[in-house]
Each structure stands twice: as structure tokens, then as C-alpha cells.
Amino acid sequence: MRTSRIASLLLCVFAMMTINAQIQGKNINILVQPDHADWTYRVGETANFKVSVLQSGVPLKNAMVQYESGPVLYTGQKKHTTLKKGTMQWKGKMDKPGFYTLKVTAHINGHDYEGKSTVGFSPEKIVPATQCPDDFDDFWKHTLEAAKQHCLQPTMQLLPERCTNEANVYEISFVNDRPGSRIYGILSMPVKAGQYPALLRVPGAGVRPYGGDTYTTPGKAVVLEIGIHGIPVTMSQHVYDDLQHGALDGYWDCNLENRERNYYKRVVTGAVRAIDYLATLPQWDHHTLGVTGSSQGGFLSLATAALDNRVTFIGVVHDAMCDYESEMKGVAGGWPHYFYKQDKINVARVTGARYYDGVNFARRCNVPAWFSFGFNDEVVPPTSSYGVYNIYPGTKTLSVYPMTGHFWFQEQWDEWQSWIRHQLGVDK
């Protein structure tokens, strides 16, 4: 009997080891290290890079690599070399404010390994190229006035399986820009009766379900997380996958040349209508209301704050959809890169894009803002993010994590959430 119990215990232990034994990291890594700890230089200075191809933490001799360098997204021709000692040195510089990338790729045993470093040269002097239409304010004023003619007609359905001891969670919806066009989202409401600060979470690009936010301020704030596509946000994943590859494929490029038909007209309007919705809730304290998001959500945070003075702060992380026009001058702009390396520019698309460029919204914001992004981001290159930060007229905080691409480190996420809690007044 005892032997049987021991055998059973060992089987359980081995089973747990199998479950917990996960693939983590890679044995081969490429490090590209600049000689300035903050990854920034003054225009005219030289950035010195050390490249190391490491296997098991030590240089891999005779590693064959491919490398390219130059302004971010506009690097020169790819070159090849063999690193006899597994390391190499590189120098780079720029004669005007911007960002310079050194990207190194090694092909080893049938696998590609990449390392890169993107450094800034006088980034505080970057100025966006985007121009603003004379009737920008009138266009958005009339757009929102037309939408507000329609009652919100809100719906609310409790999601018991998502509720916590601190918060009740609901799927909600409300009318957006016209009858039949709705915005759906997940609302987290404190269980305890009272009035609370509010937070609106706006999404990054894509088509997906949403879980709601019960983690940032459990039981201490009203939090609404919205989708932008006018469809329920609690359906099966395959529905969103089908839409992503079907009807909503490339939605971000829909009718760019026509400001009235641009897909983002209803998206931006929907974000502002989410503020209208939050304002109807008796649980809101009518004092504090923040907006935050990353990528596409960074753009929507800027747009919402620019168009609605009830917003009291924004958290903007690697903000997409900013400074498209820089790419017409050979400087990396933000996703979706409408004019990247285009030989022939459609003037109508340029004109239309200006009504939906985050730069033109940022210039109209005056609330406290937290900006964060990485230098290695090629989806939203730091040229556009830094340009937006530089022209932002309100009180602002910048927290750069140079190594990050279009993602964030745990420390960056923690800092983001901590800043939000502080702005909401619930960090104690």
C-alpha cells in the first residue's frame, strides 16, 4: 500500500513537472548595444554600437550575420559579414534630429535570430510634418453635434462569471453616430454604493473580444473598456477571426480620401459617445475621468481628450496614427504608414488623413498626459511618438523604455497602471 502511494505521488510530481516545464527564451541571442545608457545622442555625435552573437551566453565564433543601418524604417542596403570572434563594432550618426537603427540578423541551424538598437539624435527637437485643415475644428464639432442628436438608448447585461467581490461586470452598449450604429463594451462597476472616478479604456487595432478591467482599481473606480466595430464584445473568438479576415480586413484604410466616409469617423465619435455614456452613470463622481490606450488606443486617447473637455487625464502608450505626412519626406511616421515609400502620392488621401491624424488632436489637448514608448518599435516608430510628445501643449510626463518594440515590459505596464491609479486618486 505504501509503495503504491509513493508511486502515485511520484506520478503526480512528474505530471506537474511536465505542466510547468515551458519553453522560455532562446539559447542564441543577438545583442546590439549603444554606448549611451539612455540610447540618445546629440546631432553630430557618433553612436558606437557593440554587436554580440551569443550562444549559451558566450560569443559564437564565426557567426555569419546580415546587417542594415540608417534612419528608422529607411535603412540602407543589407550587407553580410562573418564575425570571427562573435562580435563586431559599428558607428552611426545623423545630421538632423531623428532615430537611427542598426539591425543584425544571424541565420543559424535553419533559424533566424535578430537583434537591433534604435537610438535617438536630439529627439526633443523632432517636429511633426502633419498639416492641419482650416476647418478641422468645425468638422469635428458638426460631427459630434449630429451624433448627439440621437439618444444613447443604453443596454446593460450582467456577466456573473466575470464579477468579483469588488466589482460587478456588465456588457453594455449605446447608440453611436446614428440609430442602428452602436458601441459595445465591458463595464466594471464597484459593488459598494457611492460615487467614483471613471476610466475609459480604448483599444488597439484589430478585431477581438474584451474581458473588461477589474484589475487596475478593484472596487475603486468605474471602468469602461470599449470595442470600436459596432459588434458585441463577448462572442466566440472565431467570429472575430472571421471578421478580421473578412468584412473588417484593412478597416484602417477604408475611405481615407473621404473624411465623411472614413472608417475612423464613427470610431472617434464612438469614443466621445463613451464619455457621454459614462456621464449618465450615477456612480460617476462628475470630477475625474481618464482615457487610456496603446497603439490605436493611444491615438483614440488623444482624440477623445481633444474633443471632450470632461476628460481630465490621458495615458498614451506607443501612439499609432500620428504624423503620416513625415513619410512623404522620408521620415518614419506612425502606423498604418499610409504614405511609406510611395512613389506617387494621392493628394486626396493626404488631405483626408489630416482629419484623423493624432498630431492634430494632440495640439488641442491640455490635460495631464503620460507618454511611453520604445525606440525599437517599427510599427509606431519613435520619430512619430516623440514628435507628438514634443508638441503636446498640456502637462506631460515621458517614460521611455528604449528596448521595447510594439509591446511593453512588465515594469512599463506597472508604471502605466500606477500613474493611472494616481490620477484617479485611488493609489492609497
Give catalytic residues, as residue numbers: 295, 377, 406
Q: And the C-alpha cell for 57?
A: 551566453
Contact in structure between 323 and 391 (CB atoms under 8 Å) = no
> Is 48 in a helix, a strand, or coil?
strand
Tell me which residue of 330, 334, 315 sits closest to 384, measured CA to CA. 334
Element (H, E) at 352: helix 347-353
State how beta strands 284-294 and 196-201 pair: parallel
Q: And the C-alpha cell for 270?
A: 464612438
Backbone phi, psi, residue 51, to 5°: -110, 130
Question: What's the CA gap between 200 and 278, in Å, rounded?
Answer: 8
Cis previous bond, 97, omega within 30 = no
Convert 162-177 to b/e letters by CB count within 10 Å (16 or more is b).
Answer: bbeeebbbbbbbbbbb
Residue 110, amino acid: G
Q: And the C-alpha cell for 386?
A: 516623440
Q: And the C-alpha cell for 126?
A: 523632432
> 425 forms bridges with which residues in the sheet?
none
Burial of 25 (0-12, 13-18, 19+ CB in 10 A): exposed
Place of cell 508604471: 415
State how beta strands 40-41 and 396-400 pair: unpaired
Could you give the count of Cα atoms lying within 13 Å of 308 in the half-sphere of its Cβ? 30
Contact in structure between 27 and 55 (CB atoms under 8 Å) = yes
Contact in structure between 315 and 290 (CB atoms under 8 Å) = yes
- How many whole angstroms from its chain centre is CA 360? 18
Residue 14, amino acid: F
